[in-house]
Amino acid sequence: MKILIINGPNLNLLGTREPEIYGSVSMEDYLNELKNEFPSAEITYYQSNIEGELINRLQEDDFEAVIINPGAFTHYSYAISDCLKNINKPKVEVHISNIYKREEFRKKSVTAESCDAVISGFGMKGYKLAIKSLI
């Protein structure tokens, strides 16, 4: 199965950004772990701080399922939400932190309703749980 993992703003800073919330493992290191654990899955990774670039990548249609952590776009990007609605493939939204235990504005996801499932609060393991649910 071809799985696209796509991360939004500031997730390129994983491992150094607020480690008390997001942990101390970089996405690159964790991605290597995922690829080793799931050798039958073809995992592709993309990250951008730019909303339009994320939408363009999602529209490339070269994957069978998507795992998305929209970062801050979670809370206000109707453009990403609309893009996800038009993808007729399994879609899982992942959040490293429990967004419901954070600031009030983080408790609403406008992108979640365009996904099949949401995983929140399991740290980086959320990506692993998403892959397991897809394969």
* Residue 58: its H or E element: helix 51-58
Q: Can you tell me which residue has the tokens 């701080």?
A: 49
Confidence (pLDDT) at 16:
66
Q: Residue 17, annotated ligand binder?
A: no
For each of the domains in the chain, give its residue range(s) and CATH number, in order of start: 2-134 (3.40.50.9100)
**Alpha carbon separation from 39 to 2, 3, 25, 33, 93 (Å, rounded):** 11, 12, 21, 10, 22
Q: What is the pTM of this model?
A: 0.91
pLDDT tens string 9-48 = 877 666 666 667 666 678 899 999 999 999 999 999 999 9
Q: Is 2 helix (H, G, I), strand (E, B) or coil?
A: strand
Confidence (pLDDT) at 26:
83
Q: Residue 133, annotated ligand binder?
A: no
**Alpha carbon separation from 123 to 57, 79, 107 (Å, rounded):** 24, 26, 17
Instruction: Please list, in sequence order, all residues whose beta carbon lies within 8 angstroms of the beta carbon of residue 51, skipping any fewer than 6 positions away.
Output: 8, 73, 77, 79, 80
Pair of tokens at residue 112? 């979640």
Confidence (pLDDT) at 13:
66
Is position 22 annotated as part of the catalytic site?
yes
Q: Residue 62, annotated ligand binder?
A: no
* Local confidence band at 107 (pLDDT 50, 70, 90 cut-offs): confident
Is position 46 annotated as part of the catalytic site?
no
